[in-house]
Structure 1
Amino acid sequence: MKIVHAKVEQLPQILNIYAYAREQMKKSGNPNQWKDNRPSIDAIKEDIRQKRCFLLVEKDVICGVFAFMIEPDIYYRAIYHGNWLNDGPYGVIHRVASSGQRKGVLNDILDYCETQIDNIRIDTHEDNRIMQHLLEKRAYVKCGIIFVDDQTPRLAYQKVIDKKHN
């Protein structure tokens, strides 16, 4: 398995993965996180342009897609019903999706991102019980609630990696 930057010519495959992920979310009791128009094609194109859209590739097959950036996220400025673990520089993971062809995609994404910076933030919808479970299993701490661009709430998580014990 390798992680590579997405290219614009891979957009059709990326859109198919997001469509598959939306269907899986609906089937698992999470019909509202992305609905039928999220993530938007404009957001995905911008992620590709900014080199923050990544693909998990195994044997030349795209198994997953995610956005990752090491920069402040405007939606993380305000957190409600809690606090971030710290105010240091952090990486942000967004728009995680699997093609369904391989198990453990989120773990691979987290493994990769945790090697890039020792402070990670990520959010998910309150109905996305699968993501919540997997994040908590990986020692991500639920810090509070943030609101994304369409003003819907998301559960905000953070993990600070202790490099001394790795």
Structure 2
Amino acid sequence: MIRLAKDKDLDAIMKIYETARKYMEETGNPSQWGKNHPPKELLEEDIKKEQLYVFTAEDGILHGVFAFIIGADPIYAYIEDGKWLNDKEYGTIHRIAGDGAVKGVFDNCLAFCRDQISNLRIDTHHDNSTMQHLIGKNGFRRCGIVYMEDGSPRIAYQYCLEDK
């Protein structure tokens, strides 16, 4: 089940991100989120803006978290080494993470987002082979390179239901 995150979920959300950062480091991707990304303040802001979601399995425990924002994302205004598939309104998936205890966090997140809008964008670090695999196997197409606020590059992908 996917639902909006609440303030009371913050401790569990922080633990999920801690687990994800450890996994990323163990699998050769120590720099994408470093030691403290995303910061608690950003997550609190996401909750206030009602753009942070959690995934709970049948056990009722939080197992995944992601931000989902419909509308233009400034990070995606400039893309190099490629181009977006279209200029239609899109939803962006950011900061997706799971605790590793259950399968299907990404698939459930994606199904939820596809139900909201048929045009999706996502990006990931070049060292994040796990996410690249998940993105690719779910019909996203690699579009180019975008840059985060700190200037670090990310591989950018887009999914369009109309293309399926």
After TM superposition, the score normalised by the length of structure 2 is 0.96
The corresponding residue for 2:45 is 46
The aligned amino acid for 2:62 is I
CA distance in 1, matches of 2:4, 2:15: 17
Deviations, residues 77-102 of structure 1 (Å, cap 9, x unaligned)? 00011100000000000000001110
The corresponding residue for 2:4 is 5
Q: Which runs of 5+ in 2 are unaligned?
A: none
SS at structure 2 position matched to 1:67: strand
The corresponding residue for 1:14 is 13
The aligned amino acid for 1:13 is A
Residues 4-153 of structure 1: matches in 2 within 5 Å?
A: 4-58=3-57, 59-153=59-153
SS at structure 2 position matched to 1:146: strand
The aligned amino acid for 2:7 is V
The aligned amino acid for 1:49 is K
CA distance in 1, matches of 2:147, 2:40: 20
The aligned amino acid for 1:44 is L
Following superposition, the deviation at residue 7 of structure 1 comes to 0.6
CA distance in 1, matches of 2:149, 2:45: 15
What is the number of residues matched between the two proteins? 163
Following superposition, the deviation at residue 60 of structure 1 comes to 1.4
CA distance in 2, matches of 1:49, 1:81: 35
CA distance in 2, matches of 1:13, 1:106: 18
CA distance in 2, matches of 1:99, 1:131: 14
CA distance in 2, matches of 1:144, 1:5: 30
The aligned amino acid for 1:124 is T
Following superposition, the deviation at residue 162 of structure 1 comes to 2.4
Deviations, residues 10-68 of structure 1 (Å, cap 9, x unaligned)? 11110000000000001111111100121111211111010000000122100100000
CA distance in 1, matches of 2:131, 2:137: 10
CA distance in 2, matches of 1:150, 1:104: 31
Identity fraction in percent: 43
SS at structure 2 position matched to 1:155: strand
Moved over 2 A (4+): none
